[in-house]
Structure 1
Amino acid sequence: MAINSACNEIGQTWMESGVSENAVSGHIQLMVPGKLACFSCAPPLVVASEIDERTLKREGVCAASLPTTMGIVAGLLVQNALKHLLNFGQVSACLGYNAMKDFFSLMVLQPNPSCSDSWCLKQQEQYLQKAKAEEKNRAAVGGGEPEEDVPLHAENEWNIVVEDDPVESVPEESELHEAKNKPAEGLKFEFEQAKSSVNDDELVADSEQDIGELMSQLNNLK
């Protein structure tokens, strides 16, 4: 909470991450003072209820001790920080991860107008004023005559034409079944699947001979 208050005071953008007590889920969160929710806008239950963090430690429970989940969440946090610092890709505002179902949830947390942090409320007011000023500037700049639509490439030296893709034929049911059962890229079946149908030429005809006749024929061959 002290870091959150200090960042709100100076308007410093920062990120935080956390892993649940059972260590099977976690999240990362980007906090831009005034624009996005701070740590006090929607704090965890333990902080909101003003419960001592030492109450998390219980006998028989090893809180957040699964290194795989913590490694995944830490990697997501570092990746998100790099995208923000190097200005590439899409920076996630709030990304949740559920290890039990391999599920990711992406959301944007808006700041709370009733936040308990006074510096957060001041940053919210400054952000609204800045947004209104930018909107007025855009309206003033865009008040002139609308620009005419100009083709992206006025010259087409190589006569390149963009056409629609042809409509592909609907695959048969057998092809859909084969594609569905096809392993992912980089994997292969250790054994080939058994054929579901047998051709007539692969069947052995029944000669209706008894065992005695077959045994006599076998003895004659010796």
Structure 2
Amino acid sequence: MTSIKSLEARIAQLEDELKEEKHKTKSARQKISQMSSEVVDSNPYSRLMALKRMGIVENYEKIRDYTVAVVGIGGVGSVAAEMLTRCGIGKLLLFDYDKVELANMNRLFFQPHQAGLSKVEAAERTLREINPDVEFETYNYNITTLENFKHFMERLCNGSLQGDLPIDLVLCCVDNYEARMAINTACNEVGQQWFESGVSENAVSGHIQYINPGETACFACAPPLVVASNIDEKTLKKDGVCAASLPTTMGIVSALLVQNTLKLLLKFGKVSHYVGYNAMEDFFPTMSMKPNQECDDRYCVKQQLLYQERVVTTCEQGPVSDATDEVVHEENDWGISLVDETSEEVLHAVDGGIVPDLVEGVRLAYTKPVTNTQEGESIEETEQSLEELMAQMKGI
């Protein structure tokens, strides 16, 4: 009897501890979700909110409203998910069907004690500890099978943080063309913008590519040779040969991916349509590709027509105001100020040979000689040759 009572008391104690832990988690979640800009050591978002105070981002708090799907929780996807979690993204959908192996320990994020767990389960556990305020959905399946593909599309259309609404962005971090084509097909059909990313098998190059159906080339518009030639990717891999991976290359590609994700969602800077990375030369090629009007994906062609209609509608609404913002500057001890070089005052002064009022110590590089056409005065012409003139200048 004593042992039973002791067991019941222990169960009650554990229940109380669980309630207390849930209360602490809820309190921590409420504290983080406030996204306070207060600069204190206890505020996990104070450094991020500094982007708003410095004028980089107009409203950083909106990061809490966005939902992003990460497909492929490997060397690139796991790090991208961690970066977004630390940035305070509202919700993450994680898709993968692989397990954590000790062979993955040369990469970032995963830890040896997680070996044997599914990658999505291990990722969720780690990410919840980093930021308990982010919501997660995890799916341990292969998106290329028919049944799973249908469910994948359903979550793209109804997995938003706000309810049964489309998500905001898909990050493709898979390592095979079949999965990339599946994501391309799904995003073309529902008009979902997404980023494709990858690292080469020799681990010394990588890339990211922004795809907005109808506006930019989709993955099928300019497919790799493997896809264009309908070659089975498995036949290209040699038995006993394992692809190399470097945490450095994967970390760089992940950073480029999330950096452009933040620029796209929070509307600051310029979103790159394509950025490559060559580790051997530290070379970052960039380019932008228009969609192929004869793309094999019929949904891509449909999205192109819809995009063109939107462009025409925008043009019919009239030109965008070309009003420019007033040049502003911070006060400083040297009296230096920014001047709009296109202002009429400065252009007239330079064109007319008049020196405008400038801060002490600052002068124009040159002024154009005055020509008074009203009094018939003009610069005198000369019959001297160019060589003679140059000789006179050297003599001076």
What range is the shorter-chain TM-score in?
Answer: 0.5 to 0.7
CA shift for structure 1 position 36: 0.4
Partner of 1:21: 201
Q: C-alpha displacement at 1:126, in angstroms?
A: 0.9
Correspondence 1:89-104 to 2 at 5 A: 89-104=269-284
1:57 aligns with 2:234: no
What SS does structure 1 have at the residue aligned with 2:317?
Answer: helix
Q: Does 1:133 align with 2:334?
A: no
Structure 2 residue matching 1:95: 3-state secondary structure:
strand
CA contact (8 A) 1:115 1:121 kept: yes
Q: Is residue 2:218 matched to residue 1:38? A: yes
Instruction: Report the Cα distance in structure 1 between the residues aligned to 2:182 and 2:190, rounded to whole angstroms.
Output: 13
CA RMSD in angstroms comes to 3.1
Q: For residues 324 and 230 of structure 2, what CA distance do their matches in structure 1 show?
A: 61
Match of residue 3 from structure 1: 183
The alpha-carbon distance between structure 1 residues 150 and 66, as it changes in their structure 2 partners (threshold 3 A), is closer
Larger helix proportion of the pair: 2
- Identity, % of aligned positions: 59
Q: Which has the higher contact order (CA 8 A, sep 6+)?
A: 1
Structure 1 residues 23 and 152, CA, compared in 2 at 3 Å: closer, same or farther? closer
Alignment pair present for 1:107 and 2:287: yes
Q: Deviations over 1:138-184 (max 9, x none)?
A: 15x88xxxx9x99959xxxxxx895485589xxxxxxxxxxxxxxxx
CA deviations 1:46-92 (Å, max 9, x no partner) are 12221122234224643242332122112211111121112222111
1:17-58 deviations in whole A, cap 9, x for unaligned? Answer: 011232211110000000001110111221222112223422
Give the drift of 1:108. Answer: 0.7
Q: Which runs of 5+ in 1 are unaligned?
A: 154-159, 169-222
Could you say which structure has the larger radius of gyration?
Answer: 1
- The 1:35/1:166 distance shift into structure 2, 3 A limit, reads same
**Maintained 8 Å contact 1:19/1:64:** no
* Alignment check: 8 A CA contact 1:18 1:26 kept: yes
Contact 1:27 1:94 in 2 (8 A): yes
**Which 5+ residue runs of structure 2 have no aligned equivalent?**
1-180, 328-336, 340-357, 366-396
- After TM superposition, the score normalised by the length of structure 2 is 0.36
Counterpart of 1:45, as a letter, is: L
* Secondary structure, aligned partner of 1:115: coil
In the alignment, which residue of structure 2 is the partner of 1:75? 255
1:26–1:136 distance in 2 versus 1, CA, 3 Å:
same
Say whether residues 1:119 and 2:291 are aligned partners.
Answer: no
